[in-house]
Amino acid sequence: MLLKFEKRPEASELMRYISPLLSIVMTLACGFILFGLLGKDPIQAFEIFFINPLKTSYGISELFLKATPLILIATGLSIGFRANVWNIGAEGQFILGAIAATGVAIHFDYHPKILLLTEMAIAGMLGGMLWAGITAYLRTRFNTNEILVSLMLVYVAQYLAEWFVHGPWKDPDGFGFPQTVLFSETALLPTLFDGLRVNLSLLFTLFFLVVAYFFIFKSFTGFKMLVSGYAKAAARYAGFSINSSIWLGLLVGGALAGIAGMTDVSGPAGQLTAHISNGYGFAAIIVAYVGRLHPVGIFFSGLLMALLYLGGEQAQHYLNLPSSIGRVFQGMLLFFLLGLDILVQYRLRYIGLTKKEA
């Protein structure tokens, strides 16, 4: 019996949506084996990793708190990805948004709460757009590779954040730790429920998901970006600007990543530190693709990715495993998704052996 891949006459829409589900199942199956190889009871480990974080209202609130920046960033990235604009540097744009929002929080904390939070959100958005704009300029002016440029700018952003918290913004009463002063109450996002940490950023996220849906599927600009990404010759013939799509895809991704950075420093963090990002910018790429670049899919894949973060923390506490076990699950999920995506364009075909071959 022989099996071979055969190109489909056209891409399978069914497999486009089934492959993420299959990748989740395969990730869980491999996770079951992984826990066994680590000497843990797989059933108990699965309960601790996937069920424990959801047993209480506090755990559920933490799930949405973790998912918020992931969904925000992935939503922005999905708009660019649909136009074949590969913004891989959302991590840096997240950090720049956090830096810009921190500057406002520190220097304008005498402003009323509503005004200050609005200023911080605008600063975060502009910070992310500025960082993404560097990539957009180099891409459209010198035809540089946006993947490499946006990725390298991540490390520049990290060093820039470290300079601020070791230098001009360092907390004089922070016992030498690289961090800014704690934000005043007026610079913190209000929580939605008493005793829980989930805050107003969740409503921001839902709002941007709705806006993204209408932009992608109901606007002419969204259609132009799609055509510009997948049929450049047709786009040029129709008079669509390829460069405009590149700028828009990168700036939107940078804006939402920057706002995510603002919600992080003004939410659970309450200050800027040298390690402000928890890898959200990179994890959001997986969120976008597991969600099939669709706002609804991104919402649910963001919750799944947040659960992997929380599960890693639970595994560290109860199973004496490193919290990075969550990143192992993230990597497996991406690996299986990329592998199964071949079935969108190809199908397995059985080839019987001839008598001579047998």
Question: Mind listing the pLDDT tens digit for each residue in 4-61?
Answer: 888 888 888 888 889 999 999 999 999 999 999 999 999 999 999 999 999 999 999 9
Same domain, 157 and 303: yes
Mark whether 102 and 245 lie in a shared domain. yes
- Around Cβ 241, how many Cβ atoms within 10 Å? 14
- For residue 83, report the phi and psi dihedrals to the nearest 5 degrees: -100, 15
pLDDT per residue over 142-158, tens digit each?
Answer: 999 999 999 999 999 99
pLDDT value of residue 358: 46
State how many domains the chain has: 2
Q: What Å distances lie between residue 151 and 71, 137, 242, CA to CA?
A: 20, 15, 22
Over residues 299-322, the pLDDT tens digits come to 999 999 999 999 999 999 999 999
Question: Is residue 172 located within the same domain as residue 237?
Answer: yes
Mean pLDDT across the chain, nearest whole number?
A: 92
Alpha-carbon gap, residue 16 to 305, rounded angstroms: 19
What is this structure's pTM? 0.94
The range of the structural domain enclosing residue 22 comes to 1-33+324-358
* pLDDT average, residue stretch 249-274: 95
Report the C-alpha gap between 125 and 260 in whole angstroms: 9
Residues 337 and 259 in one domain: no
Residues 241 and 135 in one domain: yes
Identify whether residues 1 and 101 lie together within a single domain: no
78 and 97 fall within a common domain? yes
pLDDT value at residue 352: 62
Residue 299's pLDDT is what? 97
What pLDDT score does 356 carry? 53
CA distances from 140 to 135, 154, 179, 318 (A): 9, 20, 37, 50
